[in-house]
């Protein structure tokens, strides 16, 4: 297959498997999505979805969130890990949203990335899923699969994002990044990987990855 044929194969296979694409993190608006994405750093989406209802029952908007202390937030989100940093970030960004953005989540990468504990990936998720702006957030699943599929050199997530944006049509970015995440979880995980089930890697995978799997 040519590179373009491999890219088309990926797009068509993912569209067939995931014609409708659920968003992994439960939320009701841009603010609750922002908080959920922040909590998901080094934590599973399943765990985040168990914790956010407890947090949002007390504060589902920045005005109520700043009424809580950092310590109170930390106690609730502790199961998500990194709770000292995340609780400060949640409290701090809520204060900034009130002071600078009338309590609204800004629709701008620049303003989002100025918020405490919000990096490029978090900003990209919010821009794509809350506001429909084309973005390609790269998590560990996407990074792993893009390497397995020989569509990036796998040096780092920054390079993987650049490669994804270069090879995939912009109008598909928001769907594809979610489809690849779901595919990675269901068919091409880091552990317990079964190549027989992983049709995309089996068909277009990097030769060194396939050889390594066969050796094992």
Instruction: Return the number of other C-beta atoms located less than 10 Å from residue 53's C-beta.
Output: 10
Q: Mark whether 139 is an active-site residue.
A: yes
Secondary structure (DSSP) of 87-150 = HHHHHHHHHHHHHHHTTS--S-HHHHHHSTT--HHHHHHHHHHHH--------HHHHHHHHHTT
Q: Which of 74, 86, 121, 198 is catalytic?
A: 121
Name the residue among 80, 72, 70, 84 with its Cα closest to residue 40. 80
The Cα-based distances of 6 to 10, 39, 156 in angstroms read: 6, 35, 22
**Cα(11)–Cα(65) distance, integer angstroms:** 40
Q: Which of 139, 163, 175, 198 is catalytic?
A: 139
Q: Please check whether residue 157 is in contact with residue 143, taking contact to mean a CB–CB distance below 8 angstroms.
A: yes
**Cα(173)–Cα(8) distance, integer angstroms:** 14
**Cα(135)–Cα(172) distance, integer angstroms:** 9
Q: Mark whether 100 is an active-site residue.
A: no
Indicate which residues carry an active-site annotation. Answer: 121, 139
């Amino acid at each position: 297959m040519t590179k373009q044929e491999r890219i088309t194969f990926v797009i068509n296979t993912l569209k067939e498997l995931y014609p409708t694409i659920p968003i992994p993190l439960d939320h009701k608006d841009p603010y609750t999505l922002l908080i959920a994405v922040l909590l998901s750093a080094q934590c599973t989406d399943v765990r985040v979805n168990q914790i956010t209802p407890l947090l949002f029952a007390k504060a589902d908007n920045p005005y109520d969130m700043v009424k809580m202390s950092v310590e109170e937030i930390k106690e609730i989100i502790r199961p998500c890990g990194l709770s000292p940093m995340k609780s400060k970030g949640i409290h701090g960004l809520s204060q900034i949203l009130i002071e600078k953005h009338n309590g609204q989540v800004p629709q701008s990468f620049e303003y989002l990335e100025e918020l405490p504990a919000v990096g490029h990936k978090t900003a990209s998720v919010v821009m794509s899923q809350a506001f429909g702006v084309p973005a390609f957030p790269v998590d560990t699943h996407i990074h792993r699969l893009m390497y397995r599929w020989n569509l990036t050199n796998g040096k780092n997530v920054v390079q993987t994002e650049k490669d994804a944006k270069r090879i995939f049509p912009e109008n598909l970015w928001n769907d594809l990044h979610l489809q690849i995440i779901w595919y990675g979880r269901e068919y091409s995980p880091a552990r317990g990987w079964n190549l027989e089930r992983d049709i995309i890697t089996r068909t277009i995978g990097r030769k060194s990855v396939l050889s390594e799997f066969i050796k094992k």
